[in-house]
Amino acid sequence: MDGQSLERYDVTLIGGGPVGLFGAALAGLHGMKTKLIEALPHLGGQLYALYPEKWIYDVAGFPKVLAKDLVAQLVEQAMRYHPTICLEETVSDLEALPDGAWRLYTNRDVHETRTILITSGIGAFTPRKLPAANAERFEGTSIHYFVPPLKTFTDQRVVVVGGGDSALDWALALTDPAREVILVHRRDEFRGQQETLRQFSAHPKARIRVWTEVRDVAGTNRLEAVQLINHQTKETEWIEADAVVAALGFHSNLGPIKDWGLEFHGSSIVTNEAMQTSRPGIYAAGDVAYYPGKVKLIATGFGEIGNALGHIRGYLHPGHKGGLPHSTNLKVEREG
């Protein structure tokens, strides 16, 4: 940096999954100047990227909740305290400043913060691309790796590619708005839940093509057709299609965070009972954090983030004893 001064935050969360979002709400509630940096264009982490239409049954206070609805509630809760949110920024480098604060470098910007709370889960996601000719021309418009709202597919002929849980979930969910759903898988066995496969197969709008891949896609202004190839017979065929949902999985990678001098256990960051990492002022919570006996659940992450922020509060204000006061005792704006 050239000495230019940056706005300094009390806490910067790296990752806007459920744990980072709840962290932003709690940090704001307890008066910390908060920033949250997320690599994806959307908040919600795995819930948004991997299973937005799945029901979750084990989050306190919700007998059952769709993943996308839980994300919406978490975003609303966080936004009450006006955190600074930076989307489509992947944190890569860390610099220690002489006064104990930190600089974080992303693909787009530089951020300054007194403490860091790593909530990066299983890492930044990149979707596995559809290995079909001309696919890039339609990515984001009619070839989807992150599925837009289901009503986008109303009356469409949709090709879903993949054989895992995501592909089966999407295929089944799309039978509602779509005119026809063609599930294409390069093997004849599906890794996803057999009950979902059974429900999909029984649906009148469903078609299944096994031993098959999408080889090419075509259209003028929008997608109009995809070419399928059967690996057993080597036959090719063009079929009409308005959209492709490629559910081929995601690469996830903690990337350069691995080089920050933190202690790791596999691909998780080792923390102590205060959720502090091996470097002062850097904490971790959620799926990325490890300690003996760790269980990777949303509920666990919500507890860990409260614990971490209690200790961050003590770190920022050495006069305070650790922990967080009960929210019922706080004089905060409760309306809205």
Ligand X SMILES: Cc1cc2nc3c(=O)[nH]c(=O)nc-3n(C[C@H](O)[C@H](O)[C@H](O)COP(=O)(O)OP(=O)(O)OC[C@H]3O[C@@H](n4cnc5c(N)ncnc54)[C@H](O)[C@@H]3O)c2cc1C
- Binding positions for ligand X, rule: CB under 6 A: 14-20, 37-40, 45-47, 50-51, 56, 58, 90-91, 119-125, 165, 255, 257, 286-287, 296-299, 301
Amino acid at 154: T
> CB of residue 53 vs ligand X: minimum separation in angstroms?
11
Which regions of 119-211 does DSSP assign to beta strands (E)? 124-127, 143-144, 157-161, 180-184, 206-209
| Angle of CA points 64, 67, 70, to nearest 5° | 75
Nearer to ligand X, 297 or 330 (CB): 297
Nearer to ligand X, 50 or 206 (CB): 50
Nearer to ligand X, 6 or 299 (CB): 299
> CB of residue 116 vs ligand X: minimum separation in angstroms?
11
Are 218 and 115 in contact by the 8 Å Cβ rule? The answer is: no
Chain Cα centroid distance, residue 318: 34
> CB of residue 333 vs ligand X: minimum separation in angstroms?
26
| Angle of CA points 248, 249, 254, to nearest 5° | 150
Nearer to ligand X, 44 or 281 (CB): 44
> CB of residue 42 vs ligand X: minimum separation in angstroms?
8
Q: Name the β-bridge partners of 229.
A: 213, 236
Alpha carbons within 13 angstroms on the beta-carbon side of residue 273 total 2
> CB of residue 67 vs ligand X: minimum separation in angstroms?
8
Nearer to ligand X, 122 or 206 (CB): 122
CA distance 143 to 135: 7
